[in-house]
Every structure is written in structure tokens, then in C-alpha cells.
């Protein structure tokens, strides 16, 4: 039983939304994960770009996604590294379910560090307030999944 919980935490960052990225942040502030999509070939562009890296089209639109994703990789970091009782935060890369080739930087919240498993399903928490990264939480506690796997009825 770990006493620690995962906290949302954003290191100071100087993120200024520009013409290309403001639709991403605006949607996120509404609790929606939205990615730039090429209007010509349909592929996602992440990070947003003025032209498509696949077909060079300059036409694009923004596609709202379900907000569900899989945990691709993560690390567990103490907020106060010199304090052994420090709460921790979890910077991670996640893959939106609808956009398998895309990796998004995110923070994982709403679980204990020992519940984290690469490949687990996550859902976007929103709105993110002043967070500088999308916040995702497990769709179901990992322990429930293992308990179901271990019992027949």
C-alpha cells in the first residue's frame, strides 16, 4: 500500500500559444483533446505545423477526439526531490486511441504510482486550468482489472 498519491504538477514553462497551437490549447481548456488533421491526406499533425509532413498540403482542420489514450511511457518524479515524503507527479507520453502514431506529453493524475502500467487506458481530465500539459487519469483502477482477472466468479 503506497501512501503517496499522484499530484498534478507543471514545472514552470513559458508556453505561448501561437496561431498554430492555440486551437489545441483552447480545446484543452474546454476539456477536449483536439488534434490538427491534414485536410488533404487526413493524417494527424502533432505538433501542429503549417504544412503536412506527409503530403505537404497547407490545408488543415482540427478534429476533436474521445480523450481516451494509452500510456506509452512515464516516469515518477518527486515534486520536492530532497523531501522523502514529497508528493510525486507523473510526466508521461500517451497515445490517443484514434491517433496511434501520435505521442502527447501529459501528466497522469488520479491514481497511485503503483497503479501505473504501460499500455493502460487513460481518459483526459478537463479542463486543465493552468496546467502546461494535458491531464489524464486511468479509466478504471488497475487493481480492479487484476482482481477481475484473478477471480472466476
Positions in the binding site for Zn ion (CB under 5 A):
38, 40-41, 52, 54-55, 57
Q: Which residues of 117-147 are buried (b: 16+ CB within 10 A; e: fewer)?
A: eeebbbbbbbebeebebbbbebeeebeebee
Q: How would you classify the pairing of strands 135-138 and 104-108?
A: parallel
For Zn ion, the closer of residues 54 and 143 by Cβ is 54
For Zn ion, the closer of residues 46 and 76 by Cβ is 46
Cβ 99 to Zn ion, closest distance in Å?
A: 14
For Zn ion, the closer of residues 45 and 124 by Cβ is 45
Cα(2)–Cα(68) distance, integer angstroms: 26
Instruction: Region of 81 please: left (phi>0), alpha (psi -120 to 50) or beta.
Output: alpha
- Residue 70's φ and ψ, nearest 5 degrees, are -115, 145
C-alpha cell at 142: 488497475
Cβ 46 to Zn ion, closest distance in Å?
A: 13
Cβ 44 to Zn ion, closest distance in Å?
A: 10
For Zn ion, the closer of residues 55 and 140 by Cβ is 55
Cβ 40 to Zn ion, closest distance in Å?
A: 5
C-alpha cell at 93: 507520453
Amino acid at each position: 500500500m503506497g501512501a503517496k498519491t499522484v499530484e498534478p504538477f507543471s514545472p514552470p514553462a513559458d508556453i505561448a500559444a501561437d496561431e498554430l497551437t492555440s486551437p489545441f490549447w483552447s480545446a484543452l481548456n474546454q476539456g477536449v483533446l483536439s488534434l490538427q488533421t491534414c485536410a488533404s491526406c487526413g493524417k494527424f499533425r502533432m505538433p501542429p505545423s503549417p504544412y503536412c509532413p506527409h503530403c505537404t498540403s497547407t490545408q488543415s482542420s482540427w478534429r476533436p477526439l474521445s480523450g481516451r489514450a494509452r500510456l506509452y511511457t512515464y516516469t515518477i518524479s518527486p515534486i520536492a526531490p530532497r523531501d522523502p515524503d514529497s508528493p510525486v507527479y507523473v510526466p508521461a507520453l500517451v497515445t490517443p486511441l484514434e491517433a496511434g502514431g501520435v505521442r502527447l506529453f501529459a501528466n497522469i493524475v488520479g491514481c497511485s504510482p503503483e497503479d501505473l502500467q504501460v499500455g493502460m487506458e487513460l481518459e483526459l481530465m478537463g479542463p486543465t486550468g493552468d496546467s502546461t500539459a494535458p491531464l489524464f487519469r486511468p479509466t478504471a483502477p488497475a487493481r480492479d482489472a487484476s482482481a477481475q482477472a484473478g477471480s472466476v466468479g
